Amino acid sequence: MEIVQTVNEWKDTIKPALDSKVDEFRLMGYSKAKPEDIWNCLVQKVWKGNPDKRLHEIVQDVFHLGSNVYLSYLTVNAYQDDDLMASITALTSER
């Protein structure tokens, strides 16, 4: 019988797969790749939340994560962070 759990419950178990994906991205020239960023990318872009999955499905999703999806995720987050910082700066400089 295969165990089905939410993806968050599998996170510690698949750490070696995440580390392998970080190594792959670094070999491709993405020197700032981090396991936590890859995990968050999967949660937001691939799984769209915290669905129930089997271990092999999660590992497959990690290994099939393309650099284009990862870079898209990083770009969107960078723009969101910039907008937040700009908003904070605008609010604090108006005082």
Distance linking the first and last C-alpha atoms of the chain: 62
Q: Residue 84: what pLDDT?
A: 58
Q: Residue 85: what pLDDT?
A: 60
Q: What are the domain boundaries of the chain?
A: 4-93
What pTM was estimated for this model as a whole?
0.82
Q: Residue 7: what pLDDT?
A: 97
Distances in whole angstroms, Cα of residue 56 to Cα of each of 1, 26, 52, 95: 13, 24, 12, 54
Which residues in the chain land under pLDDT 50? 94-95
